[in-house]
């Protein structure tokens, strides 16, 4: 029996049984929890091999709310990540006043931009190499943050073990921190991170700048990873994309968008260095906070030094449906 099944069952029971608690006060604060979900299914094919597959890439369910105006919580699980169930996030946060906050539990380390995107916020069917291969870290720990008018600073320390292991006592920790500047149409982020990769200390730096105006979104991100004692060769990774969205009337759909991306990385531990060009289009039904996407992407892989890609990391087409509620 999968040990996660009782946990998932309890989580679902909680979601279904939580009452909408009324707030007797006259202000706008509500104790009622919010339930959200994302279902992401796809079909992909590698034309050169003539092989294809269907996947349920995500079936996420989350519960968020407050027990007081200054105290919030968040639970997030994936009921089907390519057939596997995972507990992703479980944290509490206390607002300390003056823009300062303390958060503790299991969550994504504060570092990077593309790694932080949830599946319902993806512009492409597959994450960039930065978000998937180079920097994909959830951990158990705590972080402090402070938000100013245009600037947010956050930093935290975490267990060096995986999120599936909360029992181990450690002599080492992992850490991450970043500074986020956001004003008007510009968002710039820079940060540092120190993690353990195969028992080797890896130190990363990251920089990103994004611009959104009217129908356009453009973003570029660069990440460098250095391994201590030259255990592995340093990795350089980048991600540059543009998205153009416009209103349409096509049956139930009311938005059409076009995406283009160029991303790449040098050799990362055991992963071969490669570049990729992705072109896509997305047809969207959008109403308030719910939406449905039909996305079509084509990915062209360009491997370095005549390396050959493994299955799933070669030229392919992806057709994806995303439903957010």
- State the Cα–Cα distance between residues 52 and 226, nearest whole angstrom: 36
- State the Cα–Cα distance between residues 290 and 286, nearest whole angstrom: 6
- State the Cα–Cα distance between residues 318 and 315, nearest whole angstrom: 10
Residue 1 in 3-state DSSP?
coil
- State the Cα–Cα distance between residues 239 and 189, nearest whole angstrom: 14
Residue 21 structure tokens: 């608690």
Phi, psi angle pair for 32, to nearest 5°: -65, 125
Percent of the chain with pLDDT over 90: 86
Cβ atoms of residues 324 and 38 within 8 Å? yes
Residue 305 has a pLDDT of 80
| Residues in Cβ contact with 26 at an 8 Å cutoff, skipping those fewer than 6 apart | none
Give whole-number Cα distances, 171 to 160, 161, 168, in Å: 9, 11, 10
Residue 102 has a pLDDT of 98
Residue 268 has a pLDDT of 95
Cβ atoms of residues 129 and 237 within 8 Å? yes
Low-confidence stretches of the chain (pLDDT < 50) are 20-26
Residue 2 has a pLDDT of 56
- State the Cα–Cα distance between residues 277 and 263, nearest whole angstrom: 7
DSSP 134: I
Residue 214 has a pLDDT of 96
Residue 9 has a pLDDT of 62
Cβ atoms of residues 138 and 57 within 8 Å? no
């Amino acid at each position: 029996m999968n040990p996660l099944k009782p946990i998932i069952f309890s989580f679902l029971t909680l979601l279904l049984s939580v009452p909408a608690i009324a707030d007797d006060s006259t202000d706008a604060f509500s104790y009622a929890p919010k339930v959200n979900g994302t279902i992401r299914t796809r079909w992909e094919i590698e034309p050169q091999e003539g092989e294809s597959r269907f996947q349920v890439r995500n079936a996420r369910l989350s519960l968020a709310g407050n027990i007081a105006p200054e105290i919030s919580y968040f639970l997030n699980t994936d009921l089907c990540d390519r057939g596997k169930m995972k507990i992703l996030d479980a944290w509490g946060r206390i607002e300390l006043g003056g823009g300062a906050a303390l958060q503790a539990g299991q969550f994504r380390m504060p570092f990077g931009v593309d790694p932080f995107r949830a599946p319902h916020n993806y512009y492409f069917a597959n994450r960039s190499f930065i978000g998937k291969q180079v920097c994909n870290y959830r951990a158990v720990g705590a972080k402090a943050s402070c938000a100013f008018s245009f600037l947010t600073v956050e930093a935290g320390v975490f267990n060096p073990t995986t999120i599936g292991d909360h029992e181990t006592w450690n002599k080492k920790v992992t850490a991450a921190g970043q500074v986020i500047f956001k004003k008007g149409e510009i968002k710039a982020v820079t940060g540092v991170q120190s993690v353990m990769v195969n028992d080797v200390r890896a130190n990363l730096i990251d920089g990103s700048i994004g611009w959104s105006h009217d129908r356009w979104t453009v973003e570029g991100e660069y990440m460098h990873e250095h391994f201590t004692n030259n255990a592995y060769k340093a990795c350089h990774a980048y991600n540059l994309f543009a998205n153009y969205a416009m209103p349409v009337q096509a049956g139930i759909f009311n938005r059409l968008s076009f995406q283009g991306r160029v991303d790449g990385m040098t050799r990362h531990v055991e992963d071969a260095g490669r570049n990729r060009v992705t072109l896509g289009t997305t047809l969207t039904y959008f109403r308030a906070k719910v939406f449905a996407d039909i996305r079509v992407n084509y990915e062209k892989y360009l491997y370095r030094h005549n390396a050959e890609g493994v299955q799933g990391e070669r030229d392919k087409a992806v057709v994806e449906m995303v439903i957010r509620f």
